[in-house]
C-alpha cells in the first residue's frame, strides 16, 4: 500500500472540462475515492488525445462542448489512437442526439452532470470492467427520438454557418460550390422543419445533431 493510503493500482482518469471551477471540483471529489486518481486535466477538446497518449489514463471523462474540438470528436479519435482508454461522456446537455453520436464514437458511457459523485465514481469503475453505462431516462428518450435526419455534409454545412458565415464563406471552408452549399442548407432547413438557417442550427443543436 502506498504512503497516501491508495491501493497499489488506482483507476487513472483524464478529465476534460472547460469550466475551471467545475473541473477543479470534479477532480477534488474523484480524488477522494480510494481507487481513483485524476492523472490529467484539460480545458480544450483538441488537447485530450495528446494528454491521453502522454498519461495513459484508463478512463477519459469528457464534456461535449469544449473549445478546439468537441468531446465527441475526441472520443472518436481516442478509439483510434488510445483504444485501451474507455470514454465516459459527462455533460450538462442530456440530448438524445448526443447520446447516439457518443455511442457511434465508441463511448462506453453517457451521464448528465446533475447526478451524485458516487454514481459517477461507480460508472467509472463499471466502464473499466467492460460495461456500458447510460443514464436510463436519456436512453429511453434516444430510442423514441430516432436517428438524426441530417447527412454528414448537411451537419458540416450547418456547423460552418454557426457564426453567421455567408454562403461564400461556408463554400470556401468546406471546398464546395456556393450552389451546393445552398442545396445542403435548404435540405437541412426542410429536415429540421424550420424557416431559415439560424432556426435550423438552433433546432439541430437542441436535438444534439450538431
pLDDT in tens, 170-210: 988 899 998 998 898 888 888 888 888 888 888 887 777 77
Asked if 99 and 191 sit in the same domain, the reply is: no
Asked whether residue 4 is assigned to any structural domain, the reply reads no
> Do residues 109 and 22 share a domain?
yes
**Same domain membership, residue 193 and residue 163:** yes
Judge if 15 and 55 occupy the same domain. yes
Q: Which of 106, 124, 144 is the last residue of a domain?
A: 144
Give yes or no for a contact between 177 and 171, defined as CB atoms under 8 angstroms apart.
yes
pLDDT in tens, 31-41: 999 999 999 99
pLDDT at residue 144 is higher than 70:
no
Looking at residues 106-122, what average pLDDT do you find? 87
Whether residues 83 and 137 fall in one domain:
yes
The lowest-confidence range among 16-20, 80-84, 89-93, 202-206 is: 202-206
Span 132-148, average pLDDT: 68
Distance CA 77, CA 85 (A): 11
Would you place residue 3 in the very low, low, confident or very high pLDDT band (cuts 50, 70, 90)?
A: very low
Same domain, 59 and 158: no
Burial class (CB in 10 A: 0-12, 13-18, 19+), 80: exposed
Which of 120, 144, 168 represents a domain boundary (last residue)? 144
Q: Are residues 201 and 136 in the same domain?
A: no
The pLDDT, as a whole number, for residue 85 is 96
Domain span holding position 32: 11-144
Residue 40 sits in the same domain as residue 89 = yes
Residue 6, domain member (yes or no)? no
Number of folded domains that form the chain: 2
What is the domain-level CATH number for residue 75?
A: 3.40.50.2300
Task: Say if residue 82 is in the same domain as residue 137.
Answer: yes
Question: Which cell numbers in the block locate residue 44?
Answer: 480544450
201 assigned to some structural domain: yes
Flag whether 5 is in a domain: no
Whether 146 has a pLDDT exceeding 70, the answer reads no
Please tell me the pTM assigned to this model.
0.68
136 and 175 assigned to the same domain: no
* CATH (domain of 175): 1.10.10.10
Q: Are residues 54 and 107 in the same domain?
A: yes
108 contacts 99 by C-beta, under 8 angstroms: no
Over residues 51-66, the mean pLDDT reads 95
In a domain, 97, yes or no: yes
**With contact defined as beta carbons under 8 Å apart, do 142 and 122 qualify?**
no
Tell me, yes or no, whether 2 lies in a domain. Answer: no
In angstroms, the CA 186 to CA 196 distance is 8
Phi first, then psi: what are they for 16, rounded to 5°? -115, 110
**Mean pLDDT taken over the chain:** 86
**Does the pLDDT at position 142 exceed 90?**
no
In the prediction, which pLDDT does 8 show? Answer: 52
User: Does 20 reside within a domain?
Assistant: yes
Q: In this predicted structure, which of 10-19, 90-99, 153-162, 192-201 has the lowest mean pLDDT?
A: 90-99
Considering the domain architecture, whether residues 20 and 114 belong to the same structural domain is answered as yes
Point out the domain boundary residue: 109, 128, 144.
Answer: 144
Amino acid at each position: 500500500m502506498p504512503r497516501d493510503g491508495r491501493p497499489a493500482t488506482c483507476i487513472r482518469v483524464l478529465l476534460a472540462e472547460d469550466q475551471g471551477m467545475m473541473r477543479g471540483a470534479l477532480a477534488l471529489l474523484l480524488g477522494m475515492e480510494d481507487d481513483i486518481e485524476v492523472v490529467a486535466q484539460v480545458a480544450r477538446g483538441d488537447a485530450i488525445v495528446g494528454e491521453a497518449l502522454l498519461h495513459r489514463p484508463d478512463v477519459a471523462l469528457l464534456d461535449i462542448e469544449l473549445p478546439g474540438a468537441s468531446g465527441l470528436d475526441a472520443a472518436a479519435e481516442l478509439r483510434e489512437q488510445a483504444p485501451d482508454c474507455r470514454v465516459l461522456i459527462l455533460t450538462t446537455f442530456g440530448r438524445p442526439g448526443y447520446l447516439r453520436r457518443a455511442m457511434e464514437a465508441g463511448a462506453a458511457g453517457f451521464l448528465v452532470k446533475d447526478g451524485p459523485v458516487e454514481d459517477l465514481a461507480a460508472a467509472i469503475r463499471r466502464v473499466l470492467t467492460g460495461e456500458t453505462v447510460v443514464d436510463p431516462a436519456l436512453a429511453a428518450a434516444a430510442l423514441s427520438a430516432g436517428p438524426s435526419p441530417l447527412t454528414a455534409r448537411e451537419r458540416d454545412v450547418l456547423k460552418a454557418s454557426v457564426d453567421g458565415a455567408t454562403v461564400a464563406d461556408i463554400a470556401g471552408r468546406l471546398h464546395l460550390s456556393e450552389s451546393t452549399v445552398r442545396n445542403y442548407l435548404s435540405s437541412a432547413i426542410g429536415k429540421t422543419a424550420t424557416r431559415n438557417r439560424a432556426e435550423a442550427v438552433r433546432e439541430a443543436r437542441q436535438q444534439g445533431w450538431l
